[in-house]
Structure 1
Amino acid sequence: MEIKVLIVDDEEAVTRAIAGALEDEGYRTLTAKDGREALRLYRQQGADVVLLDVWMPDIDGIDLLRRIKEVDEGCPVIMISGHATVSAAVKAMKMGAFDFLEKPLSIEALLDTLQRALRQREVQKAEGPFPSLRGEERPSPLAEGEAGRGIVPQRTLKRSTVLYGTGLHSGQKTGMILLPQPPGTGILFCDLTDEVVVPGDLDHVVSTDFATSVGLRGVTIRTIEHLMAVLHAYGITDLLVKVDGEIPVMDGSALEFCKMVEEVGLREEGPGLKEVVVDKRYEVRDG
């Protein structure tokens, strides 16, 4: 089945370049230079995914996102911008955008995001509305039949979500976008304005002095400890976290992160993983 992508950008060179790249990959594309044309095309022909520029001369991208969601709430909308800010990204995600990409676009990153968006839509169609965990029995830490064998299921969030708070280091408002990932991805961090993806593992820890930070190729993501603790507690193994340099500290504890997981819900996926067990106490000391 041919996948139809609607590309909305007031820069003709941008729409032409994206359309050419996607058509080479087998996608069918529609292009619009402004919000009114985009809305007309979407209502007349529909689309499986929409690529939408934030800043346009008539109807801005955020307003157009709202109008598209009024027509089809389940349509994945990927926002693109050459002047990304945390507040714009968080606002778009709260209104239902699937992801937020910074110009100039990496074709590899764009294709990956399109595939994730299409996978999530298929999951939505199969599962229906996303239930939260409130009032329900939480999933067991071990999948049925696997208890005692050291195998744990892979999990991700049921849908994309955002949180907005204050940075511990900067003291400024900041936010993060959490995106479900397929099995085997692991926990990944990415700065909003950079394409470098930093794995959330011990090999990439660069500091534990004031707060725990991970880094790669000059990109550092700070204050990850509370979020990582919550992901571990809920057994979340696959997630992409987009952030403006540091994870917001919220109320200074992990409580708001827990509430977020409870509201969004979890999805188990793929084969289980062997659980790493710390079998005794270990200490690291200076000298």
Structure 2
Amino acid sequence: MSNKPDSDDELAGTEQPFVQHLMELRDRLIYSIIGLAVCMAALALWPGPSGLIDLIAIPIRAHMPPEARLIAVGVFSPFFVPLKVLAMAAVLLSLPWWMYQLWSFIAPGLYSHEKRFAVPLITLGSLLAYAGIAFVQFFVLDKMFGFIQKFTPASVAATPDIASYVEAILGLYLAFGLAFQVPIVVVLLVKMGMVSVQKLRDFRGYFIVGAFIVAAIVTPPDVISQLALAVPMIVLYEAGIWGAQLFVKRTQAEGEEASDEKTAS
């Protein structure tokens, strides 16, 4: 059996020892943590933990009396809650850097056509995550708290605890950030040959039902936030089908061109 690398395989002969892969993974994790630390330091200087708290509190403060404030019930909440918000903001700010480190780790094992496909996919995934979080901050929270305040009795003073508020919005940020990755998942499923575009179309009805079930589970028990999650998921599923269809056509075209070149040679 010949060990001669295949001349048609651009990755032939580029294999690295397992230990070297572990060292590369270690380096990428270190670079990622350094990037996170730099972002935390920058955000600590400006706008600072207090500024970040004021920013994420805008949606609920808009539906509270002018003199009302969020309260800190826990003994350590005034310290740990701003720190948690600072870490969350640093993770979001450093997300492109983390994506770049992930890309640098997997790129050597990808073919040229896979690299051309992976770069836009990683970029789009980051942008969709930001879009989902921005959608929560500037639309969902405002509508959700407006809806909730309508049911608050006049004799009840709505002064939410800052710790519970931060935990609630962090859950929404995560839920919407992941939900907005639906087009990426759909395209990847088609690329890996696990499902066809026609199967995705046939599954559309089940996905719509599943989207509303997921929204009912991961969002607060109000109609506004549930619709705000389910409807974008359905729209993004359709966008994923459209993107997967374009991907199939493009890869088929590239395969036909490659076949014509081989025939001509």
Q: Normalising by structure 1, what TM-score?
A: 0.27
Larger RCO (alpha carbons 8 Å, 6+ apart): 2
Greater helix proportion: 2
Higher strand content, 1 or 2: 1
Mark the structure with the bigger radius of gyration: 2
- What is the TM-score normalised by the length of structure 2? 0.28
